[in-house]
Amino acid sequence: MEIKRSKSGQAMPKEVIVVNKDAFLPIHKTEIRWLGSASIMINSRGTTLMIDPLLEGFDMPLLFEMPILPQAVPHLDAVLITHIDNDHFSRPTCKDLLSVCEAYHAPYYVAEVMKEENIKGTGHAIHDSFKVKDIQVTLTPARHNWQNGSSKYQFREWKEEDYCGYWLDTADGTIWLPGDSKLMEEHLKMPEPDVILFDFSDNDWHITLDGAVLLANTYPNADLICIHWGSVDAPDMSPFNGDPESLIDKVIHPERIRVLAPGEAFTLTKKQVKK
């Protein structure tokens, strides 16, 4: 696995690959790039989108420079946001992408908050579907309403539907991002995706390591692109401190664990069931 250790011992990527404008050009395949943290870029035959882009302005120190900054993005057909936390809804990033992004999508609550930044976001309910050109996008459920237990956030009731994952149907296969979430029963009853954008944070308001392994082994043919690890310099905070090596002896077909460098392209392919 292509990882190294920070000075404090955190697992982190060995390198960063700069994403240039060529990554946004029309192609005859679907490429997935992990950009660090929970940020994803997808180019599906020329349809380009980002999920939870955190490309600048985070309020905690990072372990590496982002592979692309907003001013270097030439065009996006959409930005998809899963929830309000600022490592997912990066207001600075979303604002600085306004001139090049055609549409913003999010759960209803996040879409309302986007108005505070003069971002015209389209809100959706869990299980709603919509199209980004030829990509079919469906919101999947998540359980991450941790704010209800914090006195700082008692200005509203935080509902499960304020948080989501995304299921993407492309011409080249299916991609599923469960999102920041406790493991839910519904997560174990999905069609088998070709790729899971895989949070394995050992944290009670995330999936936990045991939950991540159960999810991975429920879908034993899906490629697992590791996300939400090795990006934030926070060795004592479990949501940011996953170690891909902890998965190797627990996951069926461990060769499908994909530890990408930030900015590295992974080509989506439809799976044939392994015997």
* pLDDT tens per residue, range 31-59: 999 999 999 999 999 999 999 999 999 99
Q: Which residues contact 236 (CB under 8 A, 6 or more apart)?
A: none
Say if residue 224's pLDDT is above 50: yes
Say if residue 242's pLDDT is above 90: yes
Say if residue 78's pLDDT is above 80: yes
Quote the tokens at residue 185: 């029963």
pLDDT interval class at 173 (50, 70, 90): very high
DSSP E strand stretches across 60-146 = 78-80, 104-107, 121-124, 129-132, 135-141
Q: Are 10 and 4 in contact (CB under 8 A)?
A: no
The residue written with tokens 């946001």 in the block is 81
Average pLDDT value for residue range 188-217 = 98
Q: Are 178 and 187 in contact (CB under 8 A)?
A: yes
**Among 272, 257, 275, which Cα is nearest to 3's?**
257
Average pLDDT value for residue range 224-251 = 97
pLDDT interval class at 271 (50, 70, 90): confident
b/e 200-229 (16+ beta carbons within 10 angstroms → b): bbbbebbbbbebbbebbebbeebbbbbbbb
Report how far residue 200's alpha carbon sits from residue 216's, in angstroms, rounded to the nearest whole number.
10
What percentage of the chain exceeds 90 in pLDDT?
97
Quote the mean pLDDT of the chain. 97
Cα separations in angstroms, 160 against 77, 122, 185: 27, 18, 14
Residue ranges of domains in the chain: 3-267
**Among 178, 158, 272, which Cα is nearest to 227's?**
178
Torsion of CA 21, 175, 248, 163, to 10 degrees: 100
List the beta bridge partners of residue 124: 107
Tell the CATH topology of 3-267: Metallo-beta-lactamase; Chain A (3.60.15)
Instruction: Say what the pLDDT of residue 32 is.
Output: 98
What percentage of the chain exceeds 70 in pLDDT?
99
Average pLDDT value for residue range 4-19 = 96
List the beta bridge partners of residue 122: 105
Helix locations, the chain, DSSP H: 91-96, 108-114, 209-218
Helix or strand (DSSP H, E) at 204: none
Instruction: Say what the pLDDT of residue 275 is.
Output: 42
Instruction: Say what the pLDDT of residue 273 is.
Output: 58
